[in-house]
Chains A and B, each alone.
Chain A
Amino acid sequence: MKKGSETIIEDFRHITDNSHEYAKSLKGKGQLLAGYMCTHIPEEILYAAGMAPLRILSSHESQAMTRSYIHETYCSFSHDCAYQGLQQNYDYLDLITHGSSCIHMAEAFNVWVRFAGFQEKSFLMTFPHIIHTKQAGGLMKETFGEFKQFIEKFTKKSITDDDIERAIKVYNHTRRLLIRLWEFLRRDNPPITGPDVATATLASQVMDKQECNQMLDQLIRCLEAEPGKEQSGVRLMVTGGACDDLRIFDLFEDLNYSTNLIFIDSCTAARYFWFEVPEERTDKLEALAEGYISRIPCPSKDTVPGTGEKKRFRFIQQFIEEFRPDGVVMLYQRFCSPQSMDIQALKPILKNLGIPSTELELDTTVPKISFGTQLEALVETINRVAP
C-alpha cells in the first residue's frame, strides 16, 4: 500500500506533467491566469489582484520553428518557452508578464508579444541589471509600483495594502514549506528523495498557492511521521540555471552507482523560494523590493560593483556546509553566458573546498547515456574507483 507521502508526491508529479490541464481547471473556476517567465516578477502583486501566477515552462520537444524568431545561439530554454507561445499551448492565459532578466528570456517574451497574440495582454517589468547597488531598491519599488498600476487597470480592481500583505503571507508560507521540505535532505536518512522534492518545487510554480500550501503542509506532516531511508550513496548537489526537465533529476538517482540528489541551486528550485518578503511593513512595495533583492541572485544580475564578487557563491557555500554534498554538478543551459561565466569563477571555490565537480550542458533533450556516463565518472572520482 502506498504511503501518504507517495500519493501526494504522485499528485505533484501529475500536476507538473499536466500543467496545462491543471491551469485550465483553475480557469474553469473563474480564476484569472497570469503567466510569467523567469522569477523576477513579484507574484504577490498578481496574487493580490486575484490572479493565479503560473510559470511558463518548456515542453522539452525538439523543434526548429523558433530559429526564425530568436537567435540560434540563445539557450534552448528560451527557444522552448518561445515555442510554447507560438504553438498557442498557453492560449488560456489572460496575461503574460516578464521581469527583465536575461536577453534570451526577454526575446522569448517578445516572441509571445509580437507573434503569439499577447500584445494587448502583456507587461514587461524593468528589473535592475545589477541588484547590489543603492539605487536598485528604489528602482525596484518604482517598477513594482508601475506593475501594480498596470494590474489594477487590467483587472479593473484596486489592489489594497491588505491584499498585498495577505499575498506576502501566503507566498512566505509556501517558501517556508518548501525550505522545510528541502531540509529533509540534510538528514542522513531522509524520508523523501531529491527528485521528489524537485518535483514538488516545480509544481509549486504552476499551482494555485493556497492549494499548493495545503499539499506541501500535508506532505511534510506525512514525512515527519515516516521513518527515513538510510542513504548510502554519494551525495550530489546541483548548481546552475533553469531546468524544468525532471527526467534529469530522476537520472541522478538512477545510475549504476548509489547516488542521492540532495540540493538544487537553480531558479527552478532553491532560487525560486529561498528568501522571504518582510511582513507587516507599512510600505508594501518597499517590502517586496527588499525581499526580492535578498534572493539568491540569478547570474545575470549578480555582480557586486567594484569587487566583481558573486553574492550567489556565498549561498552556494552555505548550502555546501548545510547539505554536505560529496560532489557538485554544474547544470546549465547551453549558450547561457552568465551561467557559464559563473562556473569559471565557481570552480576554484569548489576546488578549495575539496569538492569534485562536473558540468552538464542542458539542451532540449536529455541524453541519458552521456549524462549518466558523466555523472558516474564524477562518482568514480569521488569514490576513487580503481579500474
Chain B
Amino acid sequence: MNKEKLLAGIDAGHINTKAVIMRGQEILGYCIEPTGFDVVDAAQTALNGASENADISFGELRGVIATGIFKDMIEVPPQNEAISVPEYMADAKGALFLNKDSRTVIDIGGNIHKTIYYDQNGNLLDVIQNDKCADGLGIFYTTMAKALGLSEQEMSELALKSTKNLSIAIQCALSAETDAIDLICQGRDFADVADAIAKYVAERVADMSTYMTLTKEVVVAGGLAKSQAVIKHLPGLIKQDVSVLKHPEYVGAIGAVIGYEGGK
C-alpha cells in the first residue's frame, strides 16, 4: 500500500472552486463547484465531491491546502483551517507538475487571467496579470454562450465552424458584449459571432502575454483552456506554440498540493 499522505488541494476562485485529492504524485479524484456566495460551503462541497471521486473518506485526508483568491476564507474541519499557498506559485508548480518541460503558463480563469514564467523547479521568475479593462474574461465568455443559448462547450464547437472573420470591439468585455449582441441582431451567422467572441478572448490574453518574454514551452491552464476555439487563435497571436495542460482547470489546486509538499 502506498504510504504517502493523502492531501487535498483547493483552488477557490471567483467563479468556481476546484478540489483535487492527491497521494504523492498521483491524482486520485477531482471536483469543481460554483463558488457562489458561500465560499466555505463551496469548498466543502468540492472536497466531498473530490473525495467521493477518489473513493476515499474525508477523514482519511491528512491535510487541505488552499489557493485562489478566497484561499484565506477556506475552513475545513476539524481544525476549521487550511494551509494556504499563493496562487501564482500554485499555478507554476501545477503547470510544471503536469508538463515538466513547461516554463510559461497562461492561466485563463473566470475573472482574471495571468501569465507566469518559472524555472525548472517551479520558482517564479516573472508574472503578469490582466489590466482592469480585461477583468472577467471567463464570465464574459459564459455570458455570451448564454446569449447564444449555448453551453461554453457548444459555443466553442460552433465557433470552430466559422467561415467569416468578424470583429468585436476590444476595449472591454462590456463593449465586446454590446458588439457581439449587435452582430447577432444584424442576423450574422452564430458560428462567426462565436468565433469573434473566442478571438476576442484570445486577443486579450495575447495582449497581456506580450508584456513578457514567453519562454518555451508555453502551456495553458484555467477553465477557458478547454475552449478549442480560444486556443485555436492563441499561437498566431502570441507567435508561439501552446499546449493545453491535462486537467486545465485544476492546475491551481494540483499546484497547491505540489507547492506545499515541495516546500516541506
Contact = CB atoms under 8 A, between A and B. Distances in A.
Interface SS of A by simple majority: loop
A368 interface: yes
A363 B182 CA distance: 13
Which of A64, A68, A76, A334: most chain B Cβ within 10 A? A64
Interface string B199-215: 01001101110110000
Contacts of A370: 178, 182
Given A61-B167, A363-B171, A67 B178 contact: no
Nearest to B196: A62
A64 B175 contact: no
B24 to A, nearest CB: 41
Contacts of A368: 182, 186
Nearest to A335: B171
Contact of A364 (B170, B196, B208): B170
A369 B182 contact: yes
A64 B179 contact: no
B127 interface: no
B185 interface: yes
B61 interface: no
B74 interface: no
Contacts, number: 59
B211 A63 contact: no
B25 to A, nearest CB: 37
A242 B225 CA distance: 38
B204 A64 contact: yes
B133 interface: yes
A334 B178 CA distance: 15
Interface in A322-380: 334, 363-365, 367-370
Contacts of B169: 62, 76, 363-365, 367
B185 A369 contact: yes
Contacts of A369: 182, 185-186
Interface string B113-133: 000000000000000000101
Nearest to A71: B131
Contacts of A363: 169, 171, 175, 179
Interface of B: 131, 133, 167-171, 175, 178-179, 182, 185-186, 196, 200, 203-204, 206-208, 210-211, 237
Given A363-B171, A363-B179, 16 more contacts: A62-B170, A62-B196, A64-B203, A64-B207, A64-B237, A65-B237, A68-B207, A68-B210, A72-B133, A76-B169, A76-B170, A364-B170, A365-B167, A365-B168, A365-B179, A370-B178
7 contacts: A64-B207, A65-B206, A334-B171, A363-B171, A367-B169, A367-B178, A369-B182
